[in-house]
Structure 1
């Protein structure tokens, strides 16, 4: 890509990347109001229905680990198009599923495809913009991406009334088709051929070993990953806690969910305004502190019952609102610390987020009943570990990459 194109954010590319990256969140959020209905339709426990969410996150995580190094070796565009095609075909299979076990498997495949847009939107933003702009651009992408999840539970609730949970997957199939056409027509190749070595794909996977020897990488993975796990605990648990414990209707559940998406958009907007002034390190430090304090607050409210539903809603607004800030700044810092393996760096960070999200979803699903107790315990633990990540980031940020003498690029 010409150097001049790296000087100014490309608004059209940002809008398109944001829409493509929404594949994963939409596939998660649009069917959340349907989880109790899926459990009833297949006559399985709520934990079995929630397993479709866990399998999605596992597939998303594995897909991201595959796509990062492969795109470093073969280019961003073909890998992105292949992932979106898999997402669309798997959405059809979800629509036609006739057992909970089948749905769990095809949700995994759907996520395997959706992971391409998530990891490659970060890598493409990194390729096309200077370091000073990348975190800002990723926040702008996240704002666009958040529009879909903002509306998704509301749409999902209405689709549930219209024709049941299968109609949700019909809508996701149509969205996948639109994304495939848009990506084919509008996403350029941002990783030039001279930087690719198809024979070096295994060395690209080997970059994971170098990344995992770096304490700063672990700090960012804990900061961004455990904050995301807290959010995903909320995503997994609240359809049952809100709808079945607090008796919120599936349609009104979308309004509660939308409030937190607005919090994500607000957090990302503030990041675009302040990251240039304060830098990625300070934004990570502040956002991880807010996440930890808010998570512990939610845990106390869930365990004690103080304030009822509204105290939980209040605390979750801050837990969820800073996730995008952490994702943008942690990922940017890692990609510029490892410029030759930006795809692998984005992938290991994104996969860790999704893996920890899937693990948290599985943990909260093991608690019996639909009370807020399990959600509170899990979110509180995530908050403590987020702060451990903050300590590592602050401690190791100015240290060189292990095995190298140069200082990391400042962001």
Structure 2
């Protein structure tokens, strides 16, 4: 049984990493795509934004469908759509076709996080669930580094931009075959509900929205992703354009915080059973807040270099691992159907993430101040939500007793 669970966990990691890499590996080739189709860079960027739109929209469907029909068929359906769309991207004859195929590719990729985390919840509970989510997050943390490196290597060797999609297609076919052969169903379907409809799905989401505790954890997740995405999107401009970091070295600065995140995930895996889900989650919220407060104070005293900033953000990187590893488990403990719950959280965090990028972009001034203040505000909101959840003594959730 342990071997079966381990193999399924490896498959989940492969699917989620594939989904993430499909966006990250693509970024270095964006200028070439813009030149090849003779379109503005803003038009070429639609291949990114609509891909994210496909991911967020599809998740709302995959979640409830996997609760009704099982994880295995829905996972195969999503990865199958992703694979076909990836192959179609290789042969796109114009930018319109590529944009449409990227949307469909995202629609397929949306199954990864939604059904993947639901499968983990099916197999584990409590601290075991948090530990295994940390393992997945630790592996997925390599995607933002690995993807651009692979993409840059392909483009740097003079290959056509469609080689990026050929590489994605090959990986997708391999993952799809492995899923078909090794992925087992993780929920017992006592009775297939053939009456599933848009109305029944909407009713399920209404129940989630009315579940105050679940929504509280969903907001903690979303506000955390909000400031993470906004910093990821804005730091390249500040470090490279305004602080003089060479483009070729920016990836090393990213790797510093990725390393901190991986260490945090390892620590969470080791200590969550001893200290409990709620304490590790609180520790993560405190670390992220204090880390940015420290940078803000230091900013008023000395001139902060990009390297010094990244070093000061190391506790924040570990704190993020504590938050993301335990908050999902806490949210799942409040509901009966993790598929639809996972879909709701991932949709909400995508909306918050996109909104955060826009908000922080509006306050861009070439300094680190907005990038420091925004995480402090979001993390403080998360701590307030956490305190309110702890004061709710009526609900005896696993989170409170952990």
TM-score computed with the length of structure 1 as normaliser: 0.83
**What does 1:397-408 correspond to in 2, within 5 Å?**
397=390, 399=392, 407-408=396-397
- Give the length in aligned residue pairs: 398
Q: Deviations over 1:20-72 (max 9, x none)?
A: 11122212322334455555666666655555433333322222221111100
What residue number does 2:226 align with? 229
Distance 1:245 1:46 in 2: 21
* Structure label with greater radius of gyration: 2
Native 8 Å contact 2:25 2:147 kept in 1: yes
Question: 1:188 and 2:184 equivalent?
Answer: yes
Question: How many Å apart are 1:94 and its aligned residue?
Answer: 3.7
What residue number does 1:215 align with? 212
Distance 1:108 1:387 in 2: 35
Distance 1:386 1:330 in 2: 14
Question: 1:342 and 2:338 equivalent?
Answer: yes
Distance 2:299 2:374 in 1: 13
**What does 1:99-110 correspond to in 2, within 5 Å?**
103-110=98-105
What residue number does 1:267 align with? 264
What residue number does 2:114 align with? 119
Question: How many Å apart are 1:382 and its aligned residue?
Answer: 4.2
Question: How many Å apart are 1:135 and its aligned residue?
Answer: 0.8
Q: Deviations over 1:192-226 (max 9, x none)?
A: 11165343565454222222223333332232222
What residue number does 2:170 align with? 174
TM-score computed with the length of structure 2 as normaliser: 0.85
Question: 1:331 and 2:331 equivalent?
Answer: no
Distance 2:32 2:301 in 1: 29
Distance 1:303 1:208 in 2: 46
SS in 2 for 1:184: helix
Native 8 Å contact 2:220 2:385 kept in 1: no
Q: Deviations over 1:75-112 (max 9, x none)?
A: 00111111111222222344445666654443332222
Gaps of 5+ in 1: none
Q: Deviations over 1:243-263 (max 9, x none)?
A: 555555554333333333322
Gaps of 5+ in 2: none
| Cα pair distance change 1:194/1:86, threshold 3 Å | same
**What does 1:3-14 correspond to in 2, within 5 Å?**
5=1, 10-14=5-9
> Of 388, 391, 396, which aligns to 1:395?
388
CA RMSD of aligned residues (A): 3.3
Question: How many Å apart are 1:276 and its aligned residue?
Answer: 0.8
What residue number does 1:130 align with? 125
> Of 358, 361, 365, which aligns to 2:357?
361
> Of 68, 71, 74, which aligns to 1:73?
68
